[in-house]
Amino acid sequence: MKDLNVIESNNNIIEINSLTKKYRKKIALDDISIQIPKGKIVGLLGPNGSGKTTLMKVLSGVICNYQGEVFINKKEIGVETKKIVSYLPDKPYFAKWMRPVDVIKIFKDFYKDFKEDKMMSMLDSLGVDTKQKIVTMSKGMIERLQLSLVMSRDALLYVLDEPLGGVDPATRDYILDTIIKNYNPEGTVLISTHLIEDVEKVFDSVIFIKQGKIVLFEEVDEIREKYNKSVDELFREEFKCF
């Protein structure tokens, strides 16, 4: 299982070569190389502190002090890649004074691929008042709002960091449904999560990351065929605590 099975394709949305990221002496990403093709829903799976969030921060351009090469759609991380990457961090990024209408304005101003009508219909289904202060909303509502913003873009790459973390099962279903219904079919979705059982049905392929190294990258169907196990079972086996 340790043999890295890289899905080779000339049609890659993400190409990473020898990426290393350190926080002081701690190595968060350890010389990883991977190519992820376009048009897939990919699960980024690993225990806490394995480097999932760091990898997502690198892809979104939030952190840029790393070694190695990272390309998105053949471009180095920068302004051009940010135009095509829609990033959902694992925490809210709204200022205290903001209302949904303020963030919508920012997205409308900065992202050409932002679809306001899509956003408004998502907010309608959520029952969110666009003039309500975000700080007064519940945690689940804030997460759904942030997800709606991210999924209202016709991006080529969606980077979703723990979109299902800390929400009840009903909200989890809503979030998954929102992702499936709204992502750009030509784009790629990279989702990090611990709740594999709930989401493995939507993954085309999965990446297992452990102590900053990629230990597996395979298509979900191949995993089932090769190991005769579900992704969840394989994950539990690989990351078993002794």
- Judged by CB under 8 A, the residue of 91, 181, 201, 226 near another protein is 91
**Phi, psi of 127, rounded to the nearest 5 degrees:** 75, 30
64 is a site residue for another protein (CB under 8 A): yes
Q: Which stretch binds another protein (CB under 8 A): 2-10, 94-102, 201-209, 227-235?
A: 94-102
**Contact at 8 Å (CB) between 240 and 208?**
no
- Judged by CB under 8 A, the residue of 15, 30, 102, 233 near another protein is 102
114 is a site residue for another protein (CB under 8 A): no
- Give the CB-side neighbour count of residue 114, counting CA atoms within 13 A: 21
Which residue, 32, 39, 33, is CA-closest to 11? 39
- Judged by CB under 8 A, the residue of 3, 8, 48, 97 near another protein is 97
Residues 185 and 129: their CA atoms lie apart, in Å, by 29
- Judged by CB under 8 A, the residue of 83, 194, 213, 236 near another protein is 83
* Nearest distance, CB of residue 85 and another protein, angstroms: 7
- Judged by CB under 8 A, the residue of 48, 65, 138, 228 near another protein is 65
* Nearest distance, CB of residue 63 and another protein, angstroms: 6
Residue carrying structure tokens 């890295």: 4
- Judged by CB under 8 A, the residue of 1, 4, 7, 62 near another protein is 62
Binding residues with another protein: total (CB under 8 A): 29
Residue number, 37 or 165, with CB nearest to another protein = 165
String of contacts with another protein for each residue 10-49, x by CB under 8 A: -------------xx-------------------------
HEC profile for the chain?
CCCCCCCCCCCEEEEEEEEEEEECCEEEEEEEEEEEECCCEEEEECCCCCCHHHHHHHHHCCCCCCEEEEEECCEECCHHHHCCEEEECCCCCCCCCCCHHHHHHHHHHHCCCECHHHHHHHHHHHCCCCCCCHHHCCHHHHHHHHHHHHHCECCCEEEEECCCCCCCHHHHHHHHHHHHHHCCCCCEEEEEECCHHHHHHHCCEEEEEECCEEEEEEEHHHHHHHHCCCHHHHHHHHCCCC
57 is a site residue for another protein (CB under 8 A): yes
- Judged by CB under 8 A, the residue of 94, 183, 203, 235 near another protein is 94
6 is a site residue for another protein (CB under 8 A): no
158 is a site residue for another protein (CB under 8 A): no
- Judged by CB under 8 A, the residue of 39, 47, 61, 68 near another protein is 61
Footprint of another protein (CB under 8 A): 23-24, 57, 60-65, 78-80, 82-83, 85, 87, 89, 91-95, 97, 102, 105-106, 109-111
